[in-house]
Amino acid sequence: MSILDNIPVHIPSSVSTADRAYNTLPLLHEIRHALERLSREGESTILDLRAIPFPPGDEQRLLDYLGTGEVEAQLHALGNSLIRETRYSGVWVVEHKNGDDERVALQIEITSVPAILRAQPEDIEEGLNRLTASLSADVKEDLV
C-alpha cells in the first residue's frame, strides 16, 4: 500500500457529470468548429477517436450525445464496417472491425459523405468495363 492511497479524493457534488467527462465536451466543440468549416469552406475533418484517451464511459457519452441520424451503411471487406450519420447532419461515426470482429478504428468524420462510401476511380473504371462487357449482343437479346 502506498502513502498516496491514504490521500482522500472528493469530487464536490456541484461538479456535474458532464464536467467530469474529460474529453466529451472539448471533442464536441471541435466537432462544432469542424462542422462550421464544412459548412462555410467545404473542408472535411476526420477525428481518430482511438488516438484519444477516454476515461471510463466518456467515449460512450460522446456517441450517445451525437445520437443517430437517418443514414446508416454497412461494408463487408476485410471485416465489418459501420458508417452512421449522427443526429447532426454532416457528422458521421465510422467504425471498422477486423475479421475477428475486434474494433480496429473508430472515427468521427465531418463531411457530406464519408470517404469510405465514395467510389474510387479504379473501381468506377472496373464497373464501366464490366457493364460494357455485359452489354454484349447475347445479353441485349435477353433484355429486349
pTM: 0.76
Q: What is the pLDDT of residues 79-125, one digit of tens each?
A: 899 999 999 999 999 999 998 999 999 999 999 999 889 998 999 99
> Measuring CA to CA, which residue among 6, 131, 32 is closest to residue 91?
32
* Residue 78 confidence (pLDDT): 84
Paired strand residues for 120:
none
* Residue 2 confidence (pLDDT): 62
Cell numbers for 30, please give them. 471541435
> What domains, with CATH codes, occur in the chain?
9-113 (3.30.1370.140)
Distance separating alpha carbons of residues 21 and 87, to the nearest angstrom: 21
Is the model's pLDDT at 144 over the cut of 50? yes
* Residue 82 confidence (pLDDT): 96
Q: What is the pLDDT of residues 1-11, one digit of tens each?
A: 566 566 665 54
Please provide the DSSP assignment of 41-101 as one string. H---EEEEGGGS---TTHHHHHHHHH---S-EEEEESSSEEEEEE-SSTTEEEEEEE-TTS
- Rounded (10°) angle between helices 58-66 and 24-41: 40
Residues 6 or more apart from 94 whose CB is under 8 A from it? 81, 82, 83, 105, 106, 107, 108, 109, 114, 116
Distance separating alpha carbons of residues 68 and 78, to the nearest angstrom: 25
Average pLDDT on 60-83 reads: 94
Distance separating alpha carbons of residues 46 and 92, to the nearest angstrom: 9
Q: Which residue has the cell 482522500?
A: 8
* Residue 97 confidence (pLDDT): 94
User: For the chain, how big is the Rg over CA atoms in Å?
Assistant: 22
